[in-house]
Chains A and B, each alone.
Chain A
Amino acid sequence: MTTTRIPPLTGRIRTRPRATQTPGAFGRLLRKPLGAASLLFLILLVLAAVLAPALAPYDPTATDLRNTLQGPSAAHWLGTDALGQDVLSRLLYGARDSLLGVLQATIVWLVVGVPLGVAAGYIGGSFDRSVNRVVDIMLAVPSIVVTLTVLAIFSSSMAAAMITFGFLGSANLVRAVRGRVLAVREELYVGAARVMGLTTPQILWRHVLPRAVSVVIVQAALFSAICLGVQTGLAFLGFGPPPPAPTWGGMVAEAMTLFQRQPWLLVPSGAIIGLTTIALGLLGDAVRDVNAEKSSSRRGPARRRSLGAPSTGAAPAPGALLSVRGLSVSYQAGDDEVTIVDDVEFDIQAGQTVGLVGESGSGKSLTALAILGLLPAGVQVSGGSITFDGRELTGLSPREYRALRGSAIAMISQDPLSSLDPSFRVGAQLAETVRTHERCSRREAKARAIALLEQVRLPDPEAVARKFPHQISGGMAQRVAIAIALAGRPRLLIADEPTTALDVTVQAGILDLLVTIQRETSMAVLIVTHDWGVIADQADATVVMYAGQVVEQAATAELFARPVHPYTSGLLASNPHATPRGERLPTIGGMVPAPQEWPRGCRFADRCPIAQPACRDAAVPLEQIAPGRTARCIVARVAEEVRQ
């Protein structure tokens, strides 16, 4: 273990944004011998430069012509130069110029690079494209030539040169930060923050920027090393303060001319430049390693606001909390528009639980995302209407949607852990959400957060609030996600496969909780699932989807007792629960057609045991077949008429 004592440093690092690293990241950096040594070296160098007047044994410009070109001695630790000036003192004073130059360039580099990179990555679109154009041009310009030009204009002002160099170098940073932000933007928890109703600046500051900081630190270390090379290089060429003012580059230049007479002279100046450069590089390396040791986060699906589309004018059901009519969702593939959700129609009454069931590719999750206004990038609502509490949701501006999400409609997903920001404590995230929904003091928000954790039946709410997301189990995380969803007192909760990733006993607890909470708050729930067991347990009414369409809709008990659509009965039968052990399971056969291959007529006809020629002739409408029941099947409708 290294016994490095660096008290001032700990204080300095703490001033960084708290969320940049999980606790212990700095400790891990110190455990890396090279990283810790580099950091120590750089700190000592900065201190030495700052305290040069106190530390330097001689005046850096005081000449002593009797003692020129001496090697190291007790009087002159690092020897003297051609004018008998003390090399150590000159190095200490010279460090000020060099480090100041590096600092100027790096600050300009950060101030230009970080905001532009974040903005380009997060906003995207044409802004991103124009930033990229400019960055490309900046990268194509030879920065040293421009810097030399600036020196010629500003009469050898080193500050002007370094600022120019920092500005030109920032192009690389813009690229790096933009790349990082692009990846973070797709994370599920950034989407979740949007579901909670956070504004863009809040999301950028709290969720996006902290994740980009490590990239910036690494890049900053490397860029500083380059800057040092440029600064000393310029001084070597004779730019910057004229002699006898001490500069590292100037000292190297002098040593070069005297190399035949006193080779030693090149050692101190060369070594300090070399060591500083190496230290900066190693520090960047160590920071990157520490960062890589943290578990890398998974990528979530892309989420971006959808573009609204005009309603087709189908009448929403009176009194329904949510009314979906003729909803279509599509994406652009080259010149073709591919429809993936087609003419979906259902209602949710206040306080009702509706199950949306289907297999992968049925469009059930996209329907839920369309309601939330969170369709993936490139996917949009291409028709129909979504009415919530009498208000049309398609065509809402992103701002209006944000106000709606979290407070009126909330969401929980399959993977609660990835929708929590790993760098914040559970209680803090919950309190943050509370404060975005109602004006209250921090204390009140904290109290409400604890109350919410109690409401989701977490055994020790205070203890859970103090934990980080990775410290809680999947079941607890889903309870926390439900608490976050409840923070805005929503009237509709959309639960997308809320228990799919959980163990069966944990699932039972979450399902019970959903029922209890719904009773307490009389909120409506749309539960999206592939599991008939969950439907039977939760849903008052059920909507079955197949190949982007609703094929059947009924009260859950009726649907299970007497499925009408052949797909519904096939899917119900393939559940092994009903089949005695040892018998073959009933199967549907065939495959779900891909959206590009959807036929004109009934989409299930190719797999249907009762298909008629008429089924394939024309699109089959969703029709009422009994009070409160609809189905998209010609044969079933006729059979139902006969039955009645």
Chain B
Amino acid sequence: MIETQAPLLEIDRLVVEYRSGRKRFRAVEDVTFQIGRGETVGLVGESGSGKTTIGRAVLGLAPITEGAVRFAGEPLSRASRAERRTLGRRLQAVFQDPFGSMNPSKTIGYTLAEPVLLHEGVTRQQARDRVVAMLERVGMRADAAQRYPAQFSGGQRQRIAIARALMSSPDLVICDEPVSALDLSIQAEVVNLLRDLQESLGVSYLFISHDLTIVRHLSDRLVVLQRGKVVEAGDTDRVYEHPQHPYTRGLLAAAPVPDPTIQRARRAARAIA
């Protein structure tokens, strides 16, 4: 009962600090936000804003210096390695680089089956059936399981990466720039796929991107980051229509809009500002 009331992911006054020698660098400073079940929260900001670091901290890939990250009420900051591993079932990730994120010497079937074989102790046949089902779910043919990553295009590989993330039926998927490396028409397909899967599986997304249009399209709520700090957060439409913080306004004004008439007006407005 309690679990259903708590937000799925709670990030509470998170600080991530990197040290090199005596120098300290705060990549994330005092960041707080939540993600509910079945919700998508967009994390936007430019390079160096700390958006990727937050995702990595949630995944246990970056140190939590201060504050807490709670997943379904359980603090991740104090989770042991063994606990982290079992959490891996419920918390997955899709990264930007669809080429570097898969072992080139293993078949797609192996790559997809690996998490369930490790976490759930199912039989090989059961794992194989689930791989086929998941491949079909992300719009790939079942025979893809016998092939190797090099035989697929970037968009197909990103579909496979999404399939891998969803194999263990996670509650939350951290999507770190999952479509930035893809061509526009492929990008649209992957975005649709993410949305469809959310509708059918009820999974939550933390969607990290520098691309404001994509984030706007997918997110229920937005968190805008600048140099490790949250400058604005709120309902997506509210943030886009009525940005409060000057940095958010600057970001929105800077992104070129695919409409020559509007873009001319925006350029003129920018020249005056």
Evaluate contact between A536 and B185: CB separation under 8 angstroms: no
- A588/B185 contact (C-beta < 8 A), A504-B212, A576-B191 known: yes
**In the bound complex, what is the Cα–Cα distance between A587 and B190 (angstroms)?**
10
Q: How many A-B residue pairs have CB under 8 A?
A: 103
Question: In the assembled complex, which residues on chain B have CB atoms less than 8 Å from the CB atom of A535?
Answer: 258
B220–chain A nearest beta-carbon distance, Å: 9
Evaluate contact between A581 and B217: CB separation under 8 angstroms: yes
**In the bound complex, what is the Cα–Cα distance between A585 and B210 (angstroms)?**
19
Evaluate contact between A584 and B267: CB separation under 8 angstroms: no
Interface size on A, residues (CB 8 A): 39
- A360/B183 contact (C-beta < 8 A), A515-B267, A579-B217, A581-B236 known: yes
Evaluate contact between A533 and B188: CB separation under 8 angstroms: no
Does residue A312 face the partner (Cβ distance < 8 Å to B)? Answer: no
- A504/B210 contact (C-beta < 8 A), A533-B258, A560-B259 known: yes
Question: In the assembled complex, which residues on chain B have CB atoms less than 8 Å from the CB atom of A584?
Answer: 192, 195
Question: In the assembled complex, which residues on chain A have CB atoms less than 8 Å from the CB atom of B271?
Answer: 512
Select from chain B the residue with minimum beta-carbon distance to A559.
B260
Residues 529-582 of A at the B interface (beta carbon under 8 Å): 530-537, 556-557, 560, 570-572, 574-579, 581
Evaluate contact between A505 and B46: CB separation under 8 angstroms: yes
Evaluate contact between B270 and A591: CB separation under 8 angstroms: no
Does residue A511 face the partner (Cβ distance < 8 Å to B)? Answer: yes
B234–chain A nearest beta-carbon distance, Å: 14
**In the bound complex, what is the Cα–Cα distance between A533 and B262 (angstroms)?**
10
B205–chain A nearest beta-carbon distance, Å: 14
Mask: chain A, 499-542; 1 = CB below 8 Å from B; 0 = not: 00001111110011001000000000000001111111100000
**In the bound complex, what is the Cα–Cα distance between A535 and B257 (angstroms)?**
9
- A536/B259 contact (C-beta < 8 A), A505-B250, A507-B254 known: yes
Does residue A285 face the partner (Cβ distance < 8 Å to B)? Answer: no
Evaluate contact between B263 and A585: CB separation under 8 angstroms: no
Evaluate contact between B256 and A536: CB separation under 8 angstroms: yes
Evaluate contact between A576 and B192: CB separation under 8 angstroms: no
Does residue B216 face the partner (Cβ distance < 8 Å to A)? Answer: yes
Further pairs besides A504-B255, A536-B257, A536-B263: 11, Cβ < 8 Å: A504-B212, A512-B267, A534-B256, A537-B267, A576-B213, A576-B214, A577-B258, A579-B217, A584-B192, A585-B189, A589-B189
Evaluate contact between B213 and A577: CB separation under 8 angstroms: yes
**In the bound complex, what is the Cα–Cα distance between A589 and B261 (angstroms)?**
29
Question: In the assembled complex, which residues on chain A have CB atoms less than 8 Å from the CB atom of B140?
Answer: none
Evaluate contact between A556 and B192: CB separation under 8 angstroms: no
Select from chain B the residue with minimum beta-carbon distance to A584.
B192
Does residue B6 face the partner (Cβ distance < 8 Å to A)? Answer: no
Mask: chain B, 235-273; 1 = CB below 8 Å from A; 0 = not: 011000000000000110111111111110001001100
Which 10 A-B residue pairings sit nearest by Cβ, starting from the closest? Answer: A533-B256, A532-B258, A574-B188, A508-B254, A503-B46, A585-B188, A359-B183, A576-B217, A537-B256, A536-B263
Evaluate contact between A575 and B256: CB separation under 8 angstroms: no
Question: In the assembled complex, which residues on chain B have CB atoms less than 8 Å from the CB atom of A532?
Answer: 184, 258
Select from chain A the residue with minimum beta-carbon distance to B247.
A505
Does residue B169 face the partner (Cβ distance < 8 Å to A)? Answer: no
Select from chain B the residue with minimum beta-carbon distance to A540.
B260
17 A-B residue pairs with CB within 8 Å: A359-B184, A359-B185, A503-B46, A503-B210, A504-B46, A508-B253, A511-B256, A530-B184, A533-B263, A560-B259, A574-B185, A576-B214, A576-B216, A576-B217, A586-B188, A587-B185, A587-B192
Does residue B86 face the partner (Cβ distance < 8 Å to A)? Answer: no
**In the bound complex, what is the Cα–Cα distance between A530 and B253 (angstroms)?**
20
Residues 144-163 of B at the A interface (beta carbon under 8 Å): 153
Select from chain A the residue with minimum beta-carbon distance to B261.
A557
B172–chain A nearest beta-carbon distance, Å: 20
**In the bound complex, what is the Cα–Cα distance between A512 and B255 (angstroms)?**
12
Question: In the assembled complex, which residues on chain B have CB atoms less than 8 Å from the CB atom of A504?
Answer: 46, 210, 212, 251, 254-255
Select from chain A the residue with minimum beta-carbon distance to B45.
A503
A571–chain B nearest beta-carbon distance, Å: 6
Question: In the assembled complex, which residues on chain B have CB atoms less than 8 Å from the CB atom of A536?
Answer: 256-260, 262-263
Contact for A560 among B46, B153, B258, CB less than 8 A? B258
Q: Which residues of B contact A (CB under 8 A)?
A: 46-47, 153, 183-189, 191-192, 195, 210, 212-214, 216-217, 236-237, 250-251, 253-263, 267, 270-271
Question: In the assembled complex, which residues on chain B have CB atoms less than 8 Å from the CB atom of A507?
Answer: 254, 256
A514–chain B nearest beta-carbon distance, Å: 11
**In the bound complex, what is the Cα–Cα distance between A530 and B181 (angstroms)?**
12
**In the bound complex, what is the Cα–Cα distance between A461 and B271 (angstroms)?**
22
Question: In the assembled complex, which residues on chain A have CB atoms less than 8 Å from the CB atom of B261?
Answer: 557
Question: In the assembled complex, which residues on chain A have CB atoms less than 8 Å from the CB atom of B260?
Answer: 536-537, 556-557, 560
A552–chain B nearest beta-carbon distance, Å: 15
Select from chain A the residue with minimum beta-carbon distance to B237.
A581
**In the bound complex, what is the Cα–Cα distance between A586 and B192 (angstroms)?**
9
Question: In the assembled complex, which residues on chain A have CB atoms less than 8 Å from the CB atom of B47?
Answer: 503
Question: In the assembled complex, which residues on chain A have CB atoms less than 8 Å from the CB atom of B254?
Answer: 504-505, 507-508
**In the bound complex, what is the Cα–Cα distance between A591 and B139 (angstroms)?**
13
Evaluate contact between A533 and B255: CB separation under 8 angstroms: yes
**In the bound complex, what is the Cα–Cα distance between A579 and B195 (angstroms)?**
14
A627–chain B nearest beta-carbon distance, Å: 19
- A570/B217 contact (C-beta < 8 A), A505-B251, A533-B263, A585-B192 known: no
Question: In the assembled complex, which residues on chain A have CB atoms less than 8 Å from the CB atom of B187?
Answer: 574
Evaluate contact between B188 and A531: CB separation under 8 angstroms: no
Question: In the assembled complex, which residues on chain A have CB atoms less than 8 Å from the CB atom of B259?
Answer: 536, 560, 577
Select from chain A the residue with minimum beta-carbon distance to B186.
A359
**In the bound complex, what is the Cα–Cα distance between A585 and B186 (angstroms)?**
11
Question: In the assembled complex, which residues on chain B have CB atoms less than 8 Å from the CB atom of A577?
Answer: 213, 257-259
- A587/B188 contact (C-beta < 8 A), A504-B212, A576-B213, A576-B216 known: yes
Question: In the assembled complex, which residues on chain B have CB atoms less than 8 Å from the CB atom of A579?
Answer: 217
A56–chain B nearest beta-carbon distance, Å: 49
**In the bound complex, what is the Cα–Cα distance between A574 and B213 (angstroms)?**
12
**In the bound complex, what is the Cα–Cα distance between A572 and B189 (angstroms)?**
14
B38–chain A nearest beta-carbon distance, Å: 14
B244–chain A nearest beta-carbon distance, Å: 18
Select from chain B the residue with minimum beta-carbon distance to A555.
B260
B208–chain A nearest beta-carbon distance, Å: 14
B42–chain A nearest beta-carbon distance, Å: 11
Question: In the assembled complex, which residues on chain B have CB atoms less than 8 Å from the CB atom of A505?
Answer: 46, 250-251, 254
Question: In the assembled complex, which residues on chain B have CB atoms less than 8 Å from the CB atom of A556?
Answer: 260
A585–chain B nearest beta-carbon distance, Å: 4
Question: In the assembled complex, which residues on chain A have CB atoms less than 8 Å from the CB atom of B267?
Answer: 512, 515, 537
**In the bound complex, what is the Cα–Cα distance between A515 and B268 (angstroms)?**
12
Q: Which of A508, A530, A591 has the most CB of B within 10 A?
A: A508
**In the bound complex, what is the Cα–Cα distance between A556 and B264 (angstroms)?**
12
**In the bound complex, what is the Cα–Cα distance between A251 and B240 (angstroms)?**
87
B7–chain A nearest beta-carbon distance, Å: 22
A282–chain B nearest beta-carbon distance, Å: 28
Select from chain A the residue with minimum beta-carbon distance to B189.
A587
Q: Which of A359, A537, A572 has the most CB of B within 10 A?
A: A537
**In the bound complex, what is the Cα–Cα distance between A560 and B195 (angstroms)?**
27
Question: In the assembled complex, which residues on chain A have CB atoms less than 8 Å from the CB atom of B216?
Answer: 576, 581
Question: In the assembled complex, which residues on chain A have CB atoms less than 8 Å from the CB atom of B217?
Answer: 576, 579, 581, 585
Evaluate contact between B184 and A575: CB separation under 8 angstroms: yes
Evaluate contact between A531 and B183: CB separation under 8 angstroms: no
B182–chain A nearest beta-carbon distance, Å: 9
B195–chain A nearest beta-carbon distance, Å: 7
Question: In the assembled complex, which residues on chain A have CB atoms less than 8 Å from the CB atom of B213?
Answer: 575-577
Select from chain A the residue with minimum beta-carbon distance to B271.
A512
Q: Which of A572, A579, A585 has the most CB of B within 10 A?
A: A585
Evaluate contact between B256 and A508: CB separation under 8 angstroms: yes
Contact for A537 among B46, B214, B263, CB less than 8 A? B263
Question: In the assembled complex, which residues on chain A have CB atoms less than 8 Å from the CB atom of B255?
Answer: 504, 508, 533
Evaluate contact between A531 and B153: CB separation under 8 angstroms: no
Question: In the assembled complex, which residues on chain B have CB atoms less than 8 Å from the CB atom of A506?
Answer: 46
Residues 583-614 of A at the B interface (beta carbon under 8 Å): 584-589, 591
**In the bound complex, what is the Cα–Cα distance between A535 and B258 (angstroms)?**
7
B255–chain A nearest beta-carbon distance, Å: 5
A576–chain B nearest beta-carbon distance, Å: 4
